[in-house]
Amino acid sequence: MELRLLRYFLTVAREETISGAAEALHVTQPTLSRQMMELEEGLGVKLFTRGNRKITLTGEGMLLRKRAEEIVDLVEKTKAELAASEDIVSGDIYIGGGETHGMSIIAEVIQEMREEYPYLHFHLFSGNAEDVTERIDKGLLDFGVLIQPTNLSNYESLRLPTTDTWGVLMRKDSPLAVRDTIHPEDLWDVPVIASRQRLVSGDIAKWMKKDCEKLNLVATYNLIYNASLLVEQGVGYALTLDKLTNTTGDSNLCFRPLEPRLEADMDIVWKKYQVFSNAAELFLERIQKMFVEEA
């Protein structure tokens, strides 16, 4: 399967018409139509549903789009690494992580490195631990910042010198807002919004002191911003880490820590036996040096 065909396929998927994709690619419509039919024949599956006005992807087409995007991204990342000059410190560094105030440490390192090496470029990916580790395993990310507890057996890691505090995000006019802290039983009979990954495993499940399946779980999330919109509308109380949502000034929201207090450690991880680009190797050396100095 040629990389060129994958690029053509992704353009058709994006434009949703052969004519629009052909114009974007500067090829003729018959040529593009023929190549897409040849791609379907070569794979032995139907990739498109061709309607009167637009083309939509089949289930197989959506799977190919996901894989094709990963392949193209990896090729571009590899080309950039190979093209980086040996005389000038340059290149791209790819970092993934969940929403955590601990990323401020990474931001500090990035700012220092950008001042010293202006030709370095950083690319951030936001997602939960499963999203981030999948992309590390595929070579799409150099590093990931993971909130504990997470299985680190497949990775090298460094513990970040910071912790986040678990608590509950709620409206300021909610009944629980009068509390200074939130106890497990406070959440047993109220609508809860939580990260599915964190709720069913690890410290949150232990803290809850109740079968999580018996909670009134009205919604789940992987990143807190959209969950905070649900909280603002009064849908429920969101279990989350502190310092991620604005609760100051005119905000309708407030944050209350859990009691007993529950903190989350964080690690920056990378794949074992990883062969880094010069840029990524420099980033790793910088964060290792910083941690030694702070230890």
- My answer on whether omega of the bond before 161 falls inside 30° of 0, hence cis, is no
Looking at residue 292, what is its pLDDT?
64
Count CA atoms closer than 13 A to 131's CA, side-chain side.
15
pLDDT one-digit tens code per residue, 50-80: 888 888 999 999 999 999 998 888 888 887 7
Question: What confidence tens digit (pLDDT) does each residue in 1-26 have?
Answer: 788 888 999 999 999 999 998 999 88
> What amino acid occupies position 80?
A
Distances (CA, A) of 11 to 17, 29, 63, 140: 9, 13, 15, 21
Cα separation, 242 vs 19, in Å, equals 49
Is 239 in contact with 199 (CB distance < 8 Å)? Answer: yes
Percent residues over pLDDT 70 in the chain? 95
Could you count the other beta carbons within 10 Å of the beta carbon of residue 227? 25
Q: Do 83-162+265-294 and 164-263 agree at the fold level?
A: yes
Cβ-based burial of 60 (10 A; exposed 0-12, middle 13-18, buried ≥19): middle
Task: For residue 121, count CB atoms less than 10 angstroms from its CB and return exposed for 0-12, middle for 13-18, buried for 19 or more.
Answer: middle
Q: Which fold has domain 164-263?
A: D-Maltodextrin-Binding Protein; domain 2 (3.40.190)
Q: Strands 143-147, 90-97: parallel, antiparallel or unpaired by DSSP? A: parallel
Spell out the SS3 assignment of 90-150.
Answer: EEEEEEEECCCCCHHHHHHHHHHHHHHCCEEEEEEEECCHHHHHHHHHCCCCCEEEEECCC
Ranges of each domain in the chain? 3-79, 83-162+265-294, 164-263
Question: Nearest 5 degrees, angle CA 261-CA 164-CA 194?
Answer: 80
Q: What is the pLDDT at residue 85?
A: 58
pLDDT of residue 127: 85
Residue listed under structure tokens 């690619």: 25
The DSSP-derived string for 33-100 is HHHHHHHHHHHTS--EEE-SS-EEE-HHHHHHHHHHHHHHHHHHHHHHHHHS-SSS-EEEEEEEE-S-
Residues of the chain with pLDDT under 50: none
Give the pLDDT confidence score for residue 74 in this predicted structure: 86
Asked if the bond preceding 149 is cis, omega within 30° of 0, the reply is yes
Return d(Cα 9, Cα 26) in angstroms, integer: 14
Fold for 3-79, please state it.
Arc Repressor Mutant, subunit A (1.10.10)
> In this predicted structure, what is the pLDDT of residue 78?
82
CATH, range 83-162+265-294: 3.40.190.10
